[in-house]
């Protein structure tokens, strides 16, 4: 579950930009998306300020670089970090056998794509 302040804006982002499979809404107006492995993502209408500054959701992808290019083509903006223990180059961090890249949704929920590094 992730909090969102504007259901229309969230639906455009998650459906059109990320290409997730929209399943409908529930009685309280939350958006429902089907994810891999039978899991569901629920986007809950909430007031601003309820987002967590840490990574809320991550997807494993076969090729982070290719996924970044595809998502950037749909208007997704990736973050760059230069922090102790976390530096990105071309939006990608190399971390203990995996590559990861972060972006935010319109409500600043932090989302991530990652791949297991090929040896």
Predicted local distance difference test score (pLDDT) of residue 49: 63
Please state the domain count of the chain.
1
Beta bridge pairs of residue 25: 31
Look at residues 58, 69, 72 and name the one whose alpha carbon lies nearest to residue 112: 58
**Structural domain span for residue 48:** 2-116
Predicted local distance difference test score (pLDDT) of residue 36: 84
Note the pLDDT tens digit of each residue in 41-90: 999 998 876 677 789 999 999 999 999 999 999 999 999 999 998 999 99
Predicted local distance difference test score (pLDDT) of residue 33: 97
| CATH number of the CATH domain containing 103 | 3.10.180.10
19-25 average pLDDT score: 96
How far CA 28 is from CA of 31, 79, 85, 108, in Å, comes to 9, 32, 41, 22
How far apart are alpha carbons 92 and 104 in whole angstroms?
Answer: 15
């Amino acid at each position: 579950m992730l909090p969102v302040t504007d259901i229309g804006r969230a639906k455009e982002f998650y459906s059109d930009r990320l290409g997730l499979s929209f399943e409908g809404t529930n009685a309280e107006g939350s958006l429902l998306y089907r994810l891999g492995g039978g899991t569901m993502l629920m986007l809950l209408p909430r007031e601003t300020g309820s987002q967590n500054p840490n990574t809320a959701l991550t997807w494993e992808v076969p090729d982070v670089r290719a996924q970044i290019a595809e998502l950037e083509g749909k208007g997704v903006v990736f973050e760059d970090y230069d922090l102790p223990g976390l530096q990105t180059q071309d939006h990608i961090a190399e971390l203990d056998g995996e590559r990861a890249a972060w972006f935010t949704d319109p409500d600043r929920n932090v989302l991530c794509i990652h791949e297991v590094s090929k040896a």
